[in-house]
Amino acid sequence: MTKDRPRYGANYVPSTGWFYSWLDFSADAVRRDFADLAGLGLDHVRVFPVWPWIQPNRGLIRERAVDDLLTTVDVAAEFGLGVAVDLLQGHLSSFDFLPSWVLTWHQASVFTDAGVRDGIAAYAAHVAKAVATRPNVFAITLGNEVNNLWPANPTTPAESRQWAADLLDVVRGAAPDVLCLHSVYDDAWYAADHPFHPADAVDLGDLTTVHSWVFNGTSRIDGPLGPATVSLAEYLVDLAACLAPGRGVWLQEIGAPRPDIPADAAAEFVERTLTGVADHPALWGVTWWSSHDIDRGLLDFPEREYDLGLFTVDHQPKPAALALAAHIRAAPTPTPRPATVLPCPIDLRTEPHRRAEVAPGSRFHTEWVRMRENGPVRISHTTGP
């Protein structure tokens, strides 16, 4: 039995002005960036409108900002690129972007305050309905790693799940023909006290999305090209897949962060990581973080954020970009191979407080990596959805 080839794309970080470019929008600048990405053989981009710049007041949605987003989608279509739109930014490159009407003396949790939730629902419905008019929009995600907004925005596991479920219903109602998705940072998979749970990631939305970052401690296990590091993406896809058999898993973010992955190791990291994960039967697609570097004239970003791009700010492809393009050209249709089964030691649905037992570096993860050296491994889970 064979499965379709994964989709390959990039998370779009504008080469000029980072996401601040939404404040001084240029379709020509977007066009130049998308030409870079299409030239690699990518088929989609994930784009990030910044929430407070579209909805600066709970009762105001700026149509000009929505029009700029639609123009971005249309420019992508010129290059044959599909588009996934993330709604709540929310969290980007270590910065949080929240509108003033949830801050200062208006301080309220985006997850639990009724008025804030009403405002978010209005924003989500408006933007989702607008982008759904474009045939190349294939997915809408509630936001980028929305769980990173905790603990500044208090919530409980039950409230977090209900927040996401309710907002997905809003998006589905406004955009019934696109994939509707919930995105979380991997603390939801590994951190014992985190108020977003693994079950939320695999039960809510039309696909499971995972974000694989080796700076979570994995690169310290065995170095930039060690087996634990280059297999982290596959491990996280496998962990997600075991909770919801038959459901697709989108590797929605993966990158080669420095210093964890030195520049001279980036190409090999890309090739080995993608070769390993591409044959996983649950893999729906891979979206690289990110499209372009951040101009070092912009200050106060964490050091690793500046050089994550496939391209420099002056549009030069980096070794990671060339390795990604080569993988796309060479990759055949995946043929799943017989795999060794490894039972999960905990029930991630009912025992989220034990999540650390499957975190990178845990005994279970170490065993998975050891077995993976001899061929495919598939985690089994004893309970279903």
Position 383 scores a pLDDT of 53
* Average pLDDT estimate for 15-26: 98
Q: Is the pLDDT of residue 93 over 70?
A: yes
Task: Kindly state the helix (H) or strand (E) to which residue 337 belongs, with its residue range.
Answer: none
DSSP per position, 100-119: GGGSGGG---TTT-HHHHHH
Q: Which residues contact 110 (CB under 8 A, 6 or more apart)?
A: 88, 98, 102, 116, 117, 120, 149, 153
- Per-residue pLDDT of 293-306, as tens digits, reads 999 999 999 999 99
pTM listed for this prediction: 0.96
Burial degree of 376 (CB within 10 A; 0-12, 13-18, 19+): middle
> Tokens representing 366?
């170490």
Position 3 scores a pLDDT of 63
Q: How far is CA 141 from CA 123, 181, 352, in A?
A: 13, 4, 24
Q: Reduced to 3 states, what is the DSSP secondary structure of residue 46?
A: strand
Contact 142, 189 (CB under 8 A): no
Every domain of the chain and the residues it spans: 7-337
Question: Which of 16-20, 328-332, 359-363 bottoms out in mean pLDDT, i.e. has the lowest?
Answer: 328-332
Angle (deg, nearest 10), helices 27-38 and 63-78 = 30
- Per-residue pLDDT of 47-89, as tens digits, reads 999 999 999 999 999 999 999 999 999 999 999 999 999 999 9
Pick from 36, 44, 48, 39: nearest CA to 10: 44
Q: What is the DSSP letter of 120?
A: H
- Cα three-residue angle 74-77-79, rounded to 5 degrees: 130
Q: Which percentage of the chain shows pLDDT scores above 70?
A: 98
pLDDT band at 5 (very low <50, low <70, confident <90, very high): confident
Position 281 scores a pLDDT of 94
Position 381 scores a pLDDT of 87
Q: Is the pLDDT of residue 217 over 70?
A: yes
CATH of domain 7-337: 3.20.20.80
Q: What is the DSSP letter of 315?
A: -
Q: Which percentage of the chain shows pLDDT scores above 90?
A: 94
